């Protein structure tokens, strides 16, 4: 449809650049990471927020991966030494293609608490010590408008 085409054209103009950046001081208990963006119609049907331990793709403490496939679901996992562990899937899609969202990750001592548009969505128990995490990356079908860090303790 024309709205989808318009958004595709917009995407071609703006060029979505995957985000990757250092988390100053690493993850701390009580740190809240806020990501504002818009899910795009183009550029695939998935996006991911990755908390890396080390500036590489082989160690990801928390991979948060919404997939607009088969009704929509979110895959969470951890990658260690290049190997994915068992997936934790939430068979619910809190994002809508084309719509802006606010996604928050609160680092707690036992887990990451994930909020979408102000509502609790899920939690993910730490599989590796969170203080190892030093890099955030965001890839896929998303256009970012804001990434912020806030200490809530």
Q: Residues with Cβ < 8 Å from 76, sequence gap 6 or more?
A: 62, 63, 64, 65, 87, 88, 89, 90, 122, 124
Contact (Cβ atoms closer than 8 angstroms) between residue 68 and residue 40: no
**x/- site string to ligand 9QG, residues 67 to 106, per CB under 6 A?**
--------x-x------x--x-------------------
Which of 16, 35, 47, 65: binder of ligand 9QG (CB under 6 A)? 65
User: Per CB under 6 A, does 52 bind ligand 9QG?
Assistant: no
φ/ψ of 65, rounded to 5, equals: -135, 85
How far CA 121 is from CA of 4, 69, 92, 95, in Å, comes to 27, 18, 9, 11
Q: Which residues pair with 31 in a beta bridge?
A: 151
Q: Cβ of residue 18: shortest distance to ligand 9QG, in angstroms?
A: 11
Q: Cα separations (Å) of 109 from 31, 59, 113, 128, 144?
A: 10, 20, 10, 12, 28
When asked if residue 48 is in the footprint of ligand 9QG (CB under 6 A), the reply is yes
In the complex, minimum distance from the CB of residue 35 to ligand 9QG, in angstroms, rounded to a whole number: 17
Question: Minimum Å distance from CB 74 to ligand 9QG?
Answer: 10
Encoded tokens for 91? 């068979």
Does position 53 interact with ligand 9QG (CB under 6 A)? The reply is no
Question: Rounded to the nearest whole angstrom, what is the least distance from the CB of residue 2 to ligand 9QG in the complex?
Answer: 31
Q: In terms of CB distance, is 50 or 143 closer to ligand 9QG?
A: 50
* Residues near ligand 9QG (CB under 6 A): 48, 63, 65, 75, 77, 84, 87
């Amino acid at each position: 449809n024309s709205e989808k085409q318009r958004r595709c054209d917009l995407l071609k103009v703006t060029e979505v650049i995957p985000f990757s950046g250092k988390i100053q001081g690493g993850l701390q208990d009580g740190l809240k990471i806020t990501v504002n963006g818009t899910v795009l119609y183009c550029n695939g049907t998935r996006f991911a927020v990755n908390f890396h331990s080390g500036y590489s793709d082989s160690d990801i403490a928390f991979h948060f991966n919404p997939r607009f496939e088969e009704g929509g679901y979110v895959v969470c996992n951890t990658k260690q030494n290049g190997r994915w562990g068992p997936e934790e899937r939430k068979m619910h899609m809190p994002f809508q293609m084309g719509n802006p969202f606010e996604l928050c990750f609160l680092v707690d001592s036992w887990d990451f608490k994930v909020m979408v548009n102000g509502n609790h969505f899920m939690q993910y128990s730490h599989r590796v010590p969170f203080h190892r995490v030093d890099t955030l990356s965001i890839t896929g079908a998303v256009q970012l408008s804001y990434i912020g860090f806030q200490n809530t303790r």
